[in-house]
Amino acid sequence: MRSRLFPITDDHIHFDPVNGRGIDAAKDFLHAGGTHIFLVSKPSWSLGITPASGTDYAQVFDETLRIAGLIRETGLVVFPVLGIHPAEISRLTERMPLADAAGVMKGGLECAAGYVRDGRAVALKSGRPHYEVSSEVLAASNDVLFHALGLAAGYRCALQIHAESGPCADIVDMARVAGMTVERVVKHYGSPETPLHPSLVARHEAVPVLARERRPFTMESDFMDENSRPGAVTGPKSVPRITKKLLESGVINEEDCWRIHGETIEKVYGVRITL
């Protein structure tokens, strides 16, 4: 049942009524005790969209907002996060030169920033490939990421980063040059050693440790909601289930729950978490 004592927030999750379970999966999160989600836009290709310009990504963002509206009808609080998946650069360069691909991605981020400006989204998403690429592609990807950091700084919103495993410490200097507050740069699928804000997959072994140390972090499932990959990365119930397991075992208390799922979320994203 839904908790009435404290929030349970999934910091990075996808729901897809076309290619996945959609609202039924969202209801699983709700019935397991979840209260708030950050609904992250999916890559363009997963929605059958082939962008040729930055404005083409509006189709992705509008679909994300449509899904957010459906999920809100279940009683969940939904915060949309919009942006460009870093793997888009590999898809785009199959059809255009690298410089043009980077330009399209930057335009897509500017399009997403317009939704933040209008209050229809709360944060942006960017990053760089988490797989091996050429030095030229990596440089172009970092240029796109730097553009995203500048947009997030300008619109005073958080930025979720999808990147390689590890601390990604070099992004700290990039953020500072861009004028972006480092504490609002979220390392999606993060790890404790990152100097950015760590969003840990719920099953991460460091969750109890960071909770005891009262270190700022958030929890995510990174549920992809694709019928071809059921349960990837973890299921929609994982954040509420693991939070409640930690609470029942005495590893955390209700104050910790409010800090992880409420206060820290508010500081990073600039939103209000209420029940």
Task: Check if the beta carbon of residue 90 is closer than 8 Å to that of residue 43.
Answer: no
Spell out, as residue ranges, where the chain has pLDDT lower than 70: 1-4
pTM of the model: 0.97
Q: How many C-beta neighbours within 10 Å does residue 275 have? A: 12
Q: pLDDT tens for residues 136-157? A: 999 999 999 999 999 999 999 9
Q: Copy the structure tokens of residue 166.
A: 């590890």
Taking alpha carbons only, the member of 104, 4, 126 closest to residue 58 is 104
- Could you name the CATH architecture of 9-269? Alpha-Beta Barrel (3.20)
Q: Give me the pLDDT at residue 4, please.
A: 60
What's the DSSP call for residue 175? H
Q: Give me the pLDDT at residue 12, please.
A: 98
User: Can you tell me the distance from the alpha carbon of 43 to that of 158, in angstroms, rounded to the nearest whole number?
Assistant: 19
Q: Give me the pLDDT at residue 59, please.
A: 98
